[in-house]
Structure 1
Amino acid sequence: MNAKERIARRVAQELSDGDVVNLGIGLPTQVANFLADDIQVTLQSENGFLGLGPLEEVNTSLVNAGGQPCGILPGASIFDSCFSFSLIRGGHVDVCVLGGLQVDEQGNLANWMVPGKMVPGMGGAMDLVVGAKKVIIAMEHCAKSGEPKLLHRCHYPLTAVGKVSKVITEYAVFSFVNGEMILDEISDTITLDELRARTEANFRLSEHLKIVQPMEEQP
């Protein structure tokens, strides 16, 4: 199991029975592969679906917000973008899971552009992080260059200010409570000193800090 799969599996543990969940493009879409059998969540896509399901047969008329072929479950709803964003902005999405370029210790998120590079636009991310009840950022701990992605302050253009609930990486789980960044879980594949060296952001340890095994090693 690679780093992205470990992250996706850990994110899936944050979802509860009955949740309406939006999964962003890229890594977050893998979360659907690790949903527990004893919970039922309704997957929402900002391009107009409520009730996404496994892809069983490609239909070029059915694509998710990332333009990938998708399936729909019996009883699903299909609607226009206006109605979709009314759901999002109206607070009817329980959890959104998004990728991140940078997150800082105040819970600010930058995930839509790298200065100097061409981008199509912010898309629905700015609405999701404001409208969803819980915002989980699923991302690898460091950039490909090795630079930290958890910073004192984001220096890329922000998607939202102070809206991140949790960050889940291959090494750790952080939460944001009352303006503080808190380490809730750390993988036993890394020491606390090593984690601090790869994390620019200041954080404090949870009183109930867990040291966890990599997902594939758990019984």
Structure 2
Amino acid sequence: MDLEFAIYIGTFASLAVFLNKSANPDLAIGAPDPGAEHRKIRNAQLFELEECPAIVIARLDGPLFFGSVDSLNGKLRALARRRPEQTNLVLILHGVGDVDLAGVELLEMEAERRRAVGGDVFVGVHYPPLAKRLEQLGLVEMLGRDRIFDGKGAAIAAAVSHVPLSRCEVCTARVFSECAARPQPPELDDSPALVA
């Protein structure tokens, strides 16, 4: 085989793999690991971690741009269908290197869908230039400054405070540290009744 032809084949194959990966970013579902020293979010299924019944944590690894919005929209819709009780979404933008207006519009649509069923979207952004870019594209204006945070901890705390107290009163999962300040489920009292 001619060396020049082999280089072309290798270049096109690399480009095809890159475009496929860019168009299909990973959306992993996480939960807090109670065995970790600090708030560590791990893959919920892989580590068999209990999740909050009202909040789903998803970590996006990959670009949030026009080439990935169809795939990501499908994943978010499937997530909402499979987990209708988890109306609040904490979206951690971890490996998002590229974002454009189409990606921001997708997040706005997801927020509208979740708000229609009593939930919301809370975004955790670790990378300051990405946070600035999201603001330039209008995401802060649409979602509200109180829905975009510089870390997952603040995003989770805001999502927990958004859960109705009536849901927390019957929840036994208590997966977040913030759950301690929420109403506790009624305890069963096995003590004998006192006769006055």
TM-score normalised by length of structure 1:
0.28
Indicate the structure with greater helix content: 2
Greater percentage in strand: 1
